[in-house]
Every structure is written in C-alpha cells, then in structure tokens.
Structure 1
Amino acid sequence: MSPWLAAAQIWAAAALVMLLGWWRQTRSRNAGPVDVLWAGSLGAAAIFLGATGTGSALSRLSIGVLGGLWGLRLAWHLWRRVSREPEDGRYRYLRQHWRDDQVRFFLFYQGQALAVLLFSLPFLAVAANPLARPGPWWLAGIAIWCAGMLGEAVADRQLTRFREQPENRGRSCRLGLWRYSRHPNYFFEWTLWLGYACLAVGSPLAWLAWTGPVLMYVFLRWLSGIPWAEAQALRSRGEDYRDYQRRTPAFFPWFPKPDTGRSE
C-alpha cells in the first residue's frame, strides 16, 4: 500500500475515533479519555503500518510490535487512571475557561486526530525500511526503545503507587525517578521516539522518523505536556510544587538541588 494512502487512512480512522470520543464527552462531561483514545489510536496505527508497509518483514514486524506495545500499554495505563477518577484537572480548567463550549471541544478532539497522523509518520518511515537483517542501527534502535519503554513504565508505576496513598494528597512525588526529574515519564517517552529514528535508518522515508522526537519534545516541553501538567500541579499543590520546581529539573534527569529547609 502507498505510504501516503496509509497515512490518509490513519487520519480518517483517528478522526472518526475522536468524533465518537467527543460525542461521548458531550454526555459524560469528562474529557479525560481523550488521552486514552490518542495512545490507543497510535498503537493501532503502528500495527496497521506493520501489516501494510512496503518495507522488509523485519522492519514491519519491528514497528508493529514495538509501536503497538507502546501505544496499548500507555492506553491501558491511562484508562486505569481516568476510569477511576473524576475529570482531570487540566480538562476541568479548559471546560471552565471555554465555558463548556462544545465547538471548541470538537476542534480540540480533532486536533488530537491530527496529532495521531503526525506522530504516526515515524512508524510510516520504519515500515518502509527495506532492511533485510539486523544491523547496528536496528540494534541501537531496539536498545533505545527498550530503555525508554522501561523507564516510562517504571516512572508511571512509581507515580501511581504514590498517588494511591491517602497521606500523599497535596504532595509532590519525589520518589525514585521523580527525584531527578519533575517529568521522568515524559523524558523516557521522548527517549523511546529516538529509537524509532534509529530503526528508520536506510528507509527512503527516514527523514520522517525525526519528526517523532522533534515534535514530541516540542509538545512535551512547551505545548501540551509540561505547561499543562505544571499549571494544574500549582493549582492543586501550591507551595509544595513550587519547592519541587525550584529543586528538581523539569525534563532531563539530574541531581536535585540541596534541601532548603523542608523534609522529604
């Protein structure tokens, strides 16, 4: 199948999924599941491209398995959270700020469909790679992907366990990986996308694979990731989170600054 036809089909399918998600949100008044739909749609896109790509069996199998596992794991992790909690504070803020304007919410959901298309481009590049047997770049890509996947899963689990303890309400997680970065899950998510770029080396569409880490960094660092998460954290945790911001790097892990008088 032509890569561009496959991309068009992914966009159309994602737009339909987001339309249904928006319709459900008009009744539940809970936009949290949009994150689940985004991750699940990307995982499905990777599996679809692995099955229909024009590259070698090795390349198509690699992206189908790796991209599918990543998307479905993230979707399941997010679903476990949003299905048990009220609407995420970020979306509650948008609902208040937009005065529950459903036209804006519709455009927001369709923007997520466009994001599915954009972030599926690295999958497209890998699925077109004619690589016949494992080589140095393939091995590097697998190693980087595994490191990113493991780090993201560990960070997610550490935060989930911290939030499950009632005594931690209103406090910022400083345990494990969260001691060295305010968003270690985002950092390892970004790392994982570097792996896809390595897997695409040799593909006629290899340049597309670099849209993944570039766009992911831009989105996480300046658009929908850290700014949204930290604005909500400041609203809900106040001075505790301001102290966390002063002491802990935002994205790239590093040792925290010395304690300024508060106990861990």
Structure 2
Amino acid sequence: MSILLFACCIAVLLCLVMAVAWAVAERTGNSGWVDTIWSFAVGGAGGLAALVPLDGAPGFLPRQFLVAGLVAVWSLRLGLHILARTRAGHDDPRYAHLRREWGDAAPRNLFLFLQIQAVAALVLALALLAAARNPLPYFHLGDVLGLGLALVAISGEAVADRQLARFRADPANAGRVCDVGLWGLSRHPNYFFEWLGWMAYPLIGLDLGGAYGWGWAAFAAPALIYWLLVHASGIPPTESHMLRSRGDAFRAYQRRVNAFWPWRRRGGDEEKRR
C-alpha cells in the first residue's frame, strides 16, 4: 500500500469514527464519550500507521512494534480513564459550555468540530508512521530515550489523574481548587505529561546523520498537541470553566502556579498561606 492511499483510508476511517462519537454524544447527552472515542481512535490509527506494510518498505522492523506498543499503552490508559468518568455521568464542562454558546446550532457545530478532531488524529497517525519507519539499526539511543520518555509521561499523567480524582472524592474539598502533588507544580500536569509523551516519537524517528529525513515529520505530533492543549481546546476552555466555578480561589492559584510547565513560582507558598 502506498503512503497516500493509506493516509486517505485512515482519514475516511477517522472521520467515520468521529461521526459515531458525535451520534453517541448527541444520543446520551454526555460529551465525555467524544474524548473517550477519540483516544481509542488515535491509538488504533497510530497502531495501523506503525505496522501497515508500505510499498517499497523492507520487512517489519522492531521499531514499528515499539511505536505501536507505546501508542497502544497510551491509548488504553487515557481512553479507559475517560471512559470510567463518562460512565459515572461526568460531562466534560468544555463541551457543555460550547453547547450553550452554540445554542440551536450546537448539533451541527459539534459535528464539524469533531471532524476537525479527526484531522488532528490523522496528523498524529502520520507522525507515528514517520517515527516507526526509521531504518536505523535497532536498538539505537533514540529508541532507548523515546521508550523511557514515553513511560515517564504515561506514568506522570496517570499519577496526575489519580491525584485529581482523589482530591475530588473528598467531600472536604468541595468547591476548592486542587493544588496537591503535581497540581502544585502545574495547573495542568496531565496536559504537560500528555505533550511530553508525544515528544518520545521524534526521538525514535530522528536520524541525525541525515539518511532518513522523514524522521523530522514526527515533530508534527508534539507540535500539534502543544498547540491544542495550550492555545486551543485544552487550557483556555478549562481555565474559563474554572474561573466561572471557582472564582477568586482559582485566580490565586493562577498567580502562584504555572499553567503548563511544572515549576512552582517564587513566593507561591507564602501567597497560599494568606
């Protein structure tokens, strides 16, 4: 199969999957299904991108299985986490706010929005394809660094999610802002580790000797994820919701803790005690 044909097939498949996500969200009234399905869709598309035979390519490389395995672990961890929240009745406040803003046009606008997510998933899948096809002898330093970085990122995101869930489960924390553990170092540690995990694939795909130029295409994944999380569908709508629901408490949190990069600001402890 040619890369072009594969990209077209994956694009159609992802558009269909996100159309199903739209239908499920509309039928259930719970937008949590959107990110659940998207997470599994990216994992499936990424695994196919890593493993599908391509015209002119040699036999299977161990690196292809490494990339497929890492994206599968990421997808299952994140997808099952969001699935558990969704089945418990948690509706994503970002989508709920968009629905209120869109009014009667909400069903149409949500459908178009999810098709844009399908395009984003396609970019991620093609970046994984580029990383997995690096022809350098396996195991090279980039593979080791990429594997280690991916495992740290998946573990860090899981810890952040668990700390937030534990904080919310305590009735004494009702109406408070979570600033414990990793949440005291970054307002969005789950987003930071999400981005960090996608940085693993350029490490795996790069050939600094210049023989495999397509390895640079793997940077499309962390670049896209950073833009989505920091400037588009991640931090901006999440913080808008938190400002509406937590008010001055969240404003104080914003002043003492960085939004994305984990680092406690100087004087943060003093302000917290005031």
Q: Same fold (TM over 0.5)?
A: yes
Query: Once the two structures are superposed, what CA deviation does each residue of 1:76-128 show, in whole Å capped at 9, x if it has no partner?
Result: 11111122134222111111100142111110111111111112122111222
Task: Show the 5 A alignment for 1:145-164.
Answer: 145-164=150-169
User: Counterpart of 1:139 in structure 2: which amino acid?
Assistant: V
- TM-aligned CA distance change 1:258 to 1:133, over 3 Å: closer
State how far apart, in whole Å, the 1-side matches of 2:243 and 2:96 are.
Answer: 15
State how far apart, in whole Å, the 2-side matches of 1:226 and 1:100 are.
Answer: 26
- TM-aligned CA distance change 1:148 to 1:262, over 3 Å: closer
Maintained 8 Å contact 2:146/2:203: yes
Q: 1:223 aligns with which of 225, 232, 252?
A: 232
Aligned equivalent of 2:191: 186
Match status 1:15 vs 2:24: no
> What is the SS of the residue equivalent to 1:130?
coil
Maintained 8 Å contact 2:146/2:201: yes
Q: 2:70 aligns with which of 66, 70, 73?
A: 66
User: What RMSD, in angstroms, separates the aligned Cα atoms of the two structures?
Assistant: 1.8
State how far apart, in whole Å, the 2-side matches of 1:254 and 1:121 are.
Answer: 32
Task: Show the 5 A alignment for 1:1-264.
Answer: 1-53=1-53, 54=57, 56-101=60-105, 102-202=107-207, 203-256=212-265, 257-259=267-269, 262-263=272-273
- TM-aligned CA distance change 1:262 to 1:176, over 3 Å: closer
User: Counterpart of 1:128 in structure 2: which amino acid?
Assistant: R
State how far apart, in whole Å, the 2-side matches of 1:63 and 1:2 are.
Answer: 20
CA deviation after TM superposition for structure 1 residue 263, in Å: 4.2
> What is the SS of the residue equivalent to 2:31?
coil
Maintained 8 Å contact 1:58/1:131: no
User: Counterpart of 2:74 in structure 1: which amino acid?
Assistant: W
Return the TM-score normalized by structure 2: 0.90
- TM-aligned CA distance change 1:236 to 1:135, over 3 Å: same
Report the count of equivalent residues: 264
Maintained 8 Å contact 1:11/1:114: yes
Maintained 8 Å contact 2:153/2:197: yes
- TM-aligned CA distance change 1:193 to 1:261, over 3 Å: closer
Maintained 8 Å contact 1:145/1:193: yes
- TM-aligned CA distance change 1:180 to 1:219, over 3 Å: same
> What is the SS of the residue equivalent to 1:132?
coil
CA deviation after TM superposition for structure 1 residue 204, in Å: 4.5
Return the TM-score normalized by structure 1: 0.94
- TM-aligned CA distance change 1:131 to 1:13, over 3 Å: same
Query: What 5-or-longer segments of structure 1 have no aligned partner?
Result: none
Maintained 8 Å contact 2:257/2:268: no
